[in-house]
Amino acid sequence: MRRNDVLILIVIIIAALFFVNRDHQPRRTVPATLQGAKHEARMQDSSISQERSSRKRAEDGGELLASRTNMITRAVEKIQSAVVSVYVTKTKMVRRRLGFFFDFYGEIPYNIQGIGSGVIFSDDGYIITNAHVAEGATEIKVVLPDNREFNASLIGVDSVHDVAIIKIDGENLPYAVLGTSSDLIIGEWAVAVGNPYGSLIKDVKPSVSVGVISAVDRDFARNEDNKIYRRMIQTDAAINPGNSGGPLVNVYGEVIGINTFILSESGGSVGVGFAIPIDRVKKISEELIKYGKRRAIWLDFDVQDLSPMIARYYGLKTQDGVLVVKVRAKTPAASSGLTRGDVIIAVNNTPIKNFEELQLAVSDIQVGDIIRFTILRKGKEKTLQIDAVEYK
C-alpha cells in the first residue's frame, strides 16, 4: 500500500471516530420554566404587535372618518332627530248608491290616510308642518326617528299661507333651531329633510337630499285651494311626496324654510322645489300658538285694476297700480285718509302693479303691523299709514 493511501485511510478513521463520539455525548435539557418564559415573551411580542396594528388601523379609520365629515353631514346630524313623520286620518263624505232595488243615493264617511313631515321647534313639543298635511284631520299621530309615537293635537292652521302648528306631550324631546331666511345667498348649500314616500318605505327615520338655494322671493298667485305662496325659497334639493312640512336647513343645521311643494309634470322631483321662508313661518307660528288662528286684518276698501282708459283719464303714464273705487266710512282705511280715486302703487315699499300683487302684499301683514300705502292723488305721490287691526 502506498504511503498516500495510508494517510487517506487514517484521516477517514479519525473523522469517523469524531462523529461517533459527538452523537454519544449527553444532551442538555432546557428547564420547563425557561421554555415557558420564552413562550410568554413571544406571546407578549405578538400581543404588542397586534395592539400596534389595531391602533394604526383605528387611527387610519379616524382620519378617514374625519375626511368624510363636512358641513352637510354636521348639519344633518344636528337636525335629523327633530324631524318627525306626521300620519293623519281625514274623513271625507262620499256619495254612494244605497240599496239594491231603488235608485237611492246617500253620503257615507270614508277615512283617508295621509303622511307628511314636520319639525319640532321647542322643548315642549310644538311642531311646524304644512296646513295641507294637518288641516281637517280627525286624528294625527307623530313618530320620532327614535320610534317614539305620540298623539298630536292641532293647535292652529293658516290655510292661506299653508302653515299648521301641532303639538305633542313628551319628555326629552329633540328640537331644531329656527334660523333666518333674510340673508340667504343664491347658490349656497341647502338640505331638505323629511320622510318621502314614508307609507311605502315603512321607515320613520328621515331622509336627506342636498342642493342649493336656486332663487328667492318667488311669488305665486292664489291657487284653487285659496293658498297664497309669496317670496318662496326655490331649491333644487329633491322634495318628494311626504316631504311636505319638513325643514329646509342651511349648513349650520338651522331651519331656513318649510318644504311645501314642487313644480313637476310627473309628480316626482325635477329639481324645482319651494319652501316657505322661516321668518314668515315664525310670525305665523306665534299667532297660531297664542290665538289658535291667523287673525284677519280690517281695512275695508275696494279696488280694481287700471285699464288703458282709466290710466288716461287720471293722467297716469303707466297702468301699474290699482284704483281705489270705494272706501267705507268709519273704517281703518277711511281713518288713514284713503279716498275714492286714489291709485295705490306700493305697499310697505313693495311695488304694486295689479290687484293680484296687492293681495300678495297684504297677505303677509298681521294684526299689530303698520301698513304704509304709497298712492298717487291728482298726479302727486303721497304716503298713508294704517294700523292693522283685527277684523271682528
Which active-site residues does the annotation give? 132, 162, 244
The SS3 of residue 109 is strand
Which backbone phi and psi does 5 adopt, to 5 degrees? -65, -40
**Burial zone of 372 (CB within 10 Å; 0-12 exposed, 13-18 middle, 19+ buried):** middle
Query: Is the Cβ–Cβ distance between 218 and 234 less than 8 Å?
Result: yes
The terminus-to-terminus CA distance of the chain in angstroms comes to: 147
Q: Which residues pair with 192 in a beta bridge?
A: 209, 248
Radius of gyration of the chain (CA): 39
Pairing outcome for strands 343-347 and 370-377? antiparallel
| Exposure of 284 in the CB half-sphere (CA atoms within 13 A) | 26
Q: How far is CA 202 from CA 81, 99, 260, in A?
A: 17, 39, 22
According to DSSP H, which parts of 24-85 are helical?
A: 32-68, 71-79
Q: How long a stretch of residues is the chain?
A: 392
The Cβ of residue 336 has, within 10 Å, a number of other Cβ atoms equal to: 18
DSSP 307: P
Which residue has cell 379609520? 61
DSSP 86: E
Which backbone phi and psi does 18 adopt, to 5 degrees? -65, -45
Which backbone phi and psi does 113 adopt, to 5 degrees? -95, 140
Q: Which residues pair with 301 in a beta bridge?
A: 327
DSSP 50: H
Helix (H) or strand (E) holding 246: none
